[in-house]
Amino acid sequence: MITLTLKQQPVVPLEAENLSPDVLAPLTHDAIRALPVYHGKHQCRLDEFFDVDGEASDQLTVRGDCTKVKWLGRAMTRGKLTVQGHAGMHLGAFMKGGVIEVQGNASDWVGAEMSGGLIRVSGNAGGQVGAAYRGSMSGMKEGTILIGGSAGLEVGMRMKRGTIVIGGPVRDFAGLQMKGGTLFLLQGAELRTGAWMIRGTIVSMKPLNLLPTFLPACTYRPSFLRLYTRFLRSLECPLPVGMHGGSYQRFTGDASVPGKGEVLVWQA
């Protein structure tokens, strides 16, 4: 296992696109220390900010408060990245495989445009979890993101496939322009959930203040949620008791696009 320990807080955010198991696994310690990172517009060596220990491996641990370290695990395809502390923006963006675990909080754009793998954040996340970058046609295309705490704006914006579970409260525009995939809101969300959604499923365990362009369809017991909850429990994702069996009110929308998405609200 390779361990990187933050020894000096960057003054401005550190762009560390290289800090992924794919890049580090085949390198010697000296090569890792010499990897380029960008501190603002200045190119620096990785060892100006991190101590490097451990043996070559695709298991990578980053220690310290990395709130200002961006792009951890960018485009990784294998192995495991553990962050013992907080992670900065763009954690696991473009990720294709492997596992990321953050024991603290993460910032905006967690798993943006990812196409596979698992991201687990114990604390809170920022906005745009699993989202599309500005201008892109689609956000996450596959994979799973589990956030234990709260999340910010535009969670799952333009996501196409995959699963996002947010344990805490979520802010406005969850599932904005969603094209597919499944978004679980265990503590509900604020305004305009599912705005412009074309397809996909939003499951909320709390009542939602939906847009008038979402029409109530029926109340039923969706059988697919049994399978889904089994899958999420296998990932040790804490879910409310009775979630798999309860009845849900189904809304369809967003009729303003018009879209064929669905919002399921738990009736307990």
Partner 1 sequence: MLRITGGKVYDPAHGIDGVVQDICIADGKIVADVGAGRTLDATGMIIFPGGVDIHTHVAGAALNFARGLTPENQRAAAPFLHTKDLRMGLGGPTPTTFATGYLYAGMGYTTVMEAAVPVLSAKHTHEELRDTPIVDKACLVLMANNEIVLDLLEAGETERAKQVVAWLIWAAKVYGVKAVNPGGVAAWKWGKDAKQMVSPIAGYSTLTPAKIIGGLAAIIDDLGLPHPIHLHCNNLGAPGNVSTTLDSIKALEGRRAHLAHLQFHAYGGDDWHTMRSEAVQLASYFNTQKHLTADAGAILFGNAVTITADGPWQHLLYQLTGRKWGNIDVENETGCGIVPYTYKGSNLVNAVQWAVGLELLLLIDDPWRIFLTTDHPNGACFWRYPEIIHLLMNAEYRRECIQKLPPKALKRITLPDLTREYSLYEIAIITSAGPARAMSMPQKGHLGVGADADLTIYNQNPDGAMMFRYPRYVIKGGEIVVEEGDLRKSIEGREFVVKPAFEPQIEDYLRPLFQQCYTMSFENYPVELERVHGLQMADCLPRG
List contacts with partner 1 (CB under 8 A). 133-137
Q: Are strands 99-102 and 80-84 parallel, antiparallel or unpaired?
A: parallel
| 139 and 120 Cβ atoms separated by less than 8 Å | no
Compare residues 126 and 259 and give the one whose CB is closer to partner 1: 259
Closest distance to partner 1 from the beta carbon of 198 (Å): 9
Q: How far is the CB of 109 from partner 1 (least distance, A)?
A: 13
Query: Minimum Å distance from CB 136 to partner 1?
Result: 5
Residue number with CB closer to partner 1 (60 or 112): 112
Whichever of 38 and 250 has its CB closer to partner 1, that residue is: 38
Q: Considering the complex, what minimum distance in angstroms separates the CB of residue 164 from partner 1? A: 21
Q: What is the DSSP letter of 133?
A: P
Q: Which residues, at least 6 apart from 89, have a Cβ–Cβ distance to it below 8 Å?
A: 13, 70, 71, 107, 108, 109, 126
Residue length, the chain? 268
Judged by beta carbon, residue 181 or residue 259, the one nearer partner 1 is 259
Q: Which CB sits closer to partner 1, 42 or 134?
A: 134
Smallest separation, CB 178 to partner 1 (Å): 14
For 28, counting Cβ atoms within 10 Å of its Cβ (0-12 exposed, 13-18 middle, 19+ buried), the class is exposed
